């Protein structure tokens, strides 16, 4: 396995494992060859420069994933993007986009394969939002009605009201709105791949969070192959299915999942780059849905007190959770709440804290646990339906498990 081959994610499919063993062509074929990107021994030496900006880089961006290039200024991130997009030519090496040699594609065809989003959106100031978004479809000679319909569809996709925004000029938009239009423009011809070069670098932190969330939501729907450049480790951890940490000349110091990078930095350079606070970052970037939940005995208000007491005695916790008719958590109930009670338990017990959602992060679960006066918080899925509970021990175990899993994976990888 070369440096640039991503480490396997847990539950990796055979296609993904083909990608990690460097058999990228096999992986792309297995995924229907929609839009993976491969760089093979790519070098770029700018005229008059003694050292290459990109030095013999080989890496595979698997189809349908977000790969983040994370590295200090001058490490060649933008050069890699411009190479993939053929804005510049490599000095040597090969670049494959969606199974085709990028160097053999003409620029119009390449734009159909790859959308490009840059910092400050790069919108043309003298064109309306609609004209900016319609540029590539126009290049592809779509008819007017089709372009207009596509523009409206894309504005809706990026959460901008078409009637309000299609006729505006870029100067009449906020920074965040400009970025959304930039993303819409890149998606215009529905390219399988998208390059995003520090797209959210110039907006305030709150807008940035919103744009990141929107990108993840979009990606859930669209499943593009995305190469995303950033300087920001937290942005990389949040967005990346895999992260490539680059050093000078685009040397790939580590190419792995966010968890793997946090738990097992490949070398001192990576460790220094990600800084401290790994455990907190793991909590911040892992979801409640990804950890085993603690199950507690369940009860319904109409259940008999004696039966509930028996269930608690047989369970591993000193209490049960009372659920309503739609299985939404309502109360905790302890045996002492049932002293002397016969018949249905009714409204006995104490209300649970506001449940956390399975899609919340472990950090949000921790915040909730710190604030409530019960050691357990219920977890719910869609429509508030109860799924299990989280305690501090759940979080500790989750981190320990992640460490063990990545250690075992490493041992497995080392053995092959």
Ligand X SMILES: Nc1ncnc2c1ncn2[C@@H]1O[C@H](COP(=O)(O)OP(=O)(O)OP(=O)(O)O)[C@@H](O)[C@H]1O
Q: Residue numbers of the site for ligand X (CB under 6 A)?
A: 46, 49, 53, 71, 73-79
Asked if residue 70 lies in contact with residue 236, where contact means CB atoms within 8 angstroms, the answer is yes
Residue where the block lists tokens 């539950």: 11
Nearer to ligand X, 73 or 416 (CB): 73
Nearer to ligand X, 245 or 322 (CB): 245
Nearer to ligand X, 24 or 245 (CB): 245
Nearer to ligand X, 6 or 71 (CB): 71
State the nearest-atom distance from the C-beta of 230 to ligand X, in Å.
9
State the nearest-atom distance from the C-beta of 53 to ligand X, in Å.
3
Reference 197, options 76, 105, 96, 106; nearest CA is 76
Nearer to ligand X, 48 or 205 (CB): 48
Q: How far apart are CA 31 and CA 18, in angstroms?
A: 11
State the nearest-atom distance from the C-beta of 88 to ligand X, in Å.
8
State the nearest-atom distance from the C-beta of 198 to ligand X, in Å.
7
State the nearest-atom distance from the C-beta of 77 to ligand X, in Å.
4
State the nearest-atom distance from the C-beta of 226 to ligand X, in Å.
17
**HEC assignment per residue over 398-414:** HHHHHHHHHHHHHHHHH
Nearer to ligand X, 25 or 88 (CB): 88
Reference 9, options 263, 204, 245, 194; nearest CA is 263
DSSP state of 358: T
The percent helix, strand, coil of the chain (3-state, each to 5) is: 45, 20, 35
Strand boundaries in 274-359, DSSP class E: 298-299, 320-323, 329-333, 350-351, 356-357
């Amino acid at each position: 396995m070369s440096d640039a081959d991503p480490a396997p994610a847990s539950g990796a499919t055979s296609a993904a494992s083909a990608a990690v063993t460097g058999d990228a062509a096999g992986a792309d074929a297995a995924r229907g060859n929609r839009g993976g990107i491969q760089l093979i021994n790519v070098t770029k030496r700018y005229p008059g420069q003694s050292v290459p900006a990109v030095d013999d880089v080989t890496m595979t961006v698997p189809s349908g994933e977000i790969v983040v290039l994370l590295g200090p200024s001058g490490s060649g991130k933008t050069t890699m993007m411009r190479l993939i997009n053929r804005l510049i030519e490599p000095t040597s090496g090969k670049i494959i986009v969606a199974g085709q040699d990028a160097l053999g594609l003409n620029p119009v065809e390449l734009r159909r394969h790859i959308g490009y989003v840059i910092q400050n959106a790069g919108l043309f100031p003298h064109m309306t939002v609609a004209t900016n978004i319609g540029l590539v479809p126009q290049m592809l000679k779509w008819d007017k009605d089709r372009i207009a319909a596509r523009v409206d569809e894309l504005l809706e996709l990026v959460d901008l009201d078409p009637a309000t925004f299609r006729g505006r000029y870029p100067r009449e938009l906020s920074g965040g709105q400009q970025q959304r239009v930039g993303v819409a423009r890149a998606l215009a011809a529905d390219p399988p791949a998208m390059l995003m070069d520090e797209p959210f670098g110039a907006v305030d932190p709150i807008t940035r969070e919103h744009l990141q969330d929107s990108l993840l939501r979009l990606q859930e729907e669209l499943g593009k192959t995305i190469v995303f450049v950033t300087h920001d480790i937290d942005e990389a951890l949040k967005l990346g299915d895999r992260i490539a940490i680059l050093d000078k000349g685009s040397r790939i110091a580590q190419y792995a999942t966010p968890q793997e990078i946090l738990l097992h930095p490949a070398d001192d350079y990576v460790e220094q780059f990600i800084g401290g606070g790994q455990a907190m970052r793991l909590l911040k970037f892992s979801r409640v849905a990804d950890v085993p939940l603690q199950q507690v005995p369940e009860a319904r208000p109409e259940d008999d007190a004696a039966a509930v007491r028996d269930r608690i005695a047989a369970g591993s916790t000193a209490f049960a959770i009372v659920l309503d008719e739609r299985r939404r958590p309502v109360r905790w109930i302890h045996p002492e709440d049932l002293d002397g009670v016969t018949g249905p338990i009714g409204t006995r017990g104490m209300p649970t804290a506001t449940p956390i959602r399975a899609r919340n992060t472990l950090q949000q679960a921790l915040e909730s646990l710190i604030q409530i006066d019960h050691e357990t918080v219920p977890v719910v899925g869609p429509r508030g339906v109860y799924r299990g509970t989280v305690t501090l021990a759940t979080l500790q175990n989750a981190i320990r498990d992640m460490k063990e899993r990545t250690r075992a994976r490493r041992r497995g990888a080392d053995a092959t």
